[in-house]
Structure 1
Amino acid sequence: MSSVNGIGGVSSVNIQSMDLETALMMVQQQRTQLLDAQLNSQIQGVQNRNDQISKLNNVLSSLNAAQAAFPGDAKPDATIKDWNDDKVHQIEIPINDAIQQAGLADLGFGSSAGQTSAQNYRDGTAGTLPSGSNVMKGSTTKAQIDAAIAKVKGQIDSLGNSQQMDMLRLQSLTNKRNEAFDVMTNFVKKMQESRSSIIGNMR
């Protein structure tokens, strides 16, 4: 039995019971709906990638601030001097907040515990984070900060390249969807004109 599968919950339609015009119209409607679904999915993918790039840029900005806290002649194994509560709030917490929001699991940091904003911590009462390679702290070295910056830049570049391909696919889907809609619109118009002509000849 010939049928056209529905999209988004639309039930299958038996085209054998339809006249040719109605069957063709239904097929074209289904094609337009499919392209709409693909287009919406592609748009959501582009938006998600944009959001992640924005989050990574926040991480990069925070890491650059930490890098700027080192003197120009700092050695790779140097840590930020005079580490205190002010620097925890100015450098450590912003970096760890940004890393958490971006969902980064590994930036090559050591295993000591660091801090984040209390509202970003699971119980909302303490700012202490578990130790991990994605947690910046006072013992984090210049070499680790530099390596993290390079890694985040690489991720941003990779997402940017993927974004270009996404935009090309989005444009292609948009063109196909518009073409399908135009075909359907023209088909409806011709059907109406044909029926009007038949009715006119019957008078």
Structure 2
Amino acid sequence: MLNRSGIIVLVTGLLIGAVAGLVVGYGIHDAPAQGSIGSVQSAGDGYFLVNGQKMDLGALQLMLQIDRTKALDQSIADQMAQIQDRNKQIRDYNEQMANLTAQRAALDQNDSKYKENYASLTAQIDYLKGLIDGLNSEAQLDMIRLQSLIDKRNQAFEMASNTLQQDQKTRDSIVGNLR
């Protein structure tokens, strides 16, 4: 039978082991790079080998969710860059349209080519308006895609957090049962 000091030593050892397991098993010290999960092989006794590292199911789930979060972060960054490029295009077209509108307003009505120049400038302005409208529609769709990616990233992060919480509750229960 263990005395009080023996139980304290045992529980302290288990807690240190649990913390070490979190640090090593979950890769907190060296987070996996995106796409780093290669083949997963069973190591027996409920453990798996991933890239030569032995881990339990909870650690594997967390690693997969972290990789998924990183991949979604990259997709979000790419989508934001695309939105910024489109917004720059819209700004450029708006500047061109403002210049054409100013040129049209500055036309001399007494000029013999007034109607021809006015019609040409109006056609160019209308063309730019059409381009801007198309880009605005695409920008709205891009914003919807971006929101969807952000939602997926939040779900992946929440799943990783839930995995950690579930594992911690299990470890707390084990320690509680040892008392």
The two structures have a TM-score, normalised by structure 2, of 0.67
Alignment partner of 1:45 is 2:82: yes
Within 1, Cα distance between the matches of 2:167 and 2:110? 79
Within 1, Cα distance between the matches of 2:165 and 2:131? 50
Secondary structure of 1:11's match? coil
Within 2, Cα distance between the matches of 1:197 and 1:72? 88
Task: Give the partner amino acid of 1:50.
Answer: N
Alignment partner of 1:58 is 2:83: no
Q: Match of 1:34?
A: 71
Alignment partner of 1:146 is 2:122: yes
Q: Match of 1:168?
A: 144
Q: Match of 1:78?
A: 114
Which of 31, 36, 39 aligns to 1:11? It is 36
- Which ranges in structure 2 are unaligned for 5 or more consecutive residues? 1-31, 42-48, 50-54
The total of aligned residue pairs comes to 136
Q: Which runs of 4+ in 1 moved over 3 A?
A: 10-15, 71-75
Alignment partner of 1:202 is 2:178: yes
Task: Give the partner amino acid of 1:11.
Answer: S
Secondary structure of 2:139's match? helix
- Identity %, equivalent residues: 38
CA displacement at 1:73 relative to structure 2: 7.6
Q: Which structure is higher in helix share? A: 2
CA displacement at 1:144 relative to structure 2: 2.4
Within 2, Cα distance between the matches of 1:61 and 1:15? 59
Alignment partner of 1:183 is 2:121: no
Alpha-carbon displacement from aligned partner over 1:106-165 (angstroms, at most 9, x marks no partner): xxxxxxxxxxxxxxxxxxxxxxxxxxxxxxxxxx93332222111111110110010111
Q: Looking at CA atoms only, which structure, 1 or 2, has the larger radius of gyration?
A: 2
Within 2, Cα distance between the matches of 1:181 and 1:73? 68
Alpha-carbon displacement from aligned partner over 1:168-199 (angstroms, at most 9, x marks no partner): 11111111111111111111111111112212
Secondary structure of 2:36's match? coil
CA displacement at 1:12 relative to structure 2: 3.5
What is the RMSD of the two structures over their aligned residues, measured on CA atoms?
Answer: 2.4
The two structures have a TM-score, normalised by structure 1, of 0.60
CA displacement at 1:78 relative to structure 2: 3.0
Task: Give the partner amino acid of 1:42.
Answer: Q
Within 2, Cα distance between the matches of 1:14 and 1:202? 36
Task: Give the partner amino acid of 2:164.
Answer: V
From the superposition, tell whether residues 48 and 145 of structure 1 become closer, same or farther in structure 2 (CA, over 3 Å): same
Q: Match of 1:67?
A: 104
Alignment partner of 1:192 is 2:168: yes
Q: Which structure is higher in strand share? A: 2
Within 1, Cα distance between the matches of 2:76 and 2:128? 30
- Which ranges in structure 1 are unaligned for 5 or more consecutive residues? 80-139
8 Å Cα contact 1:35/1:177 also seen in 2: yes
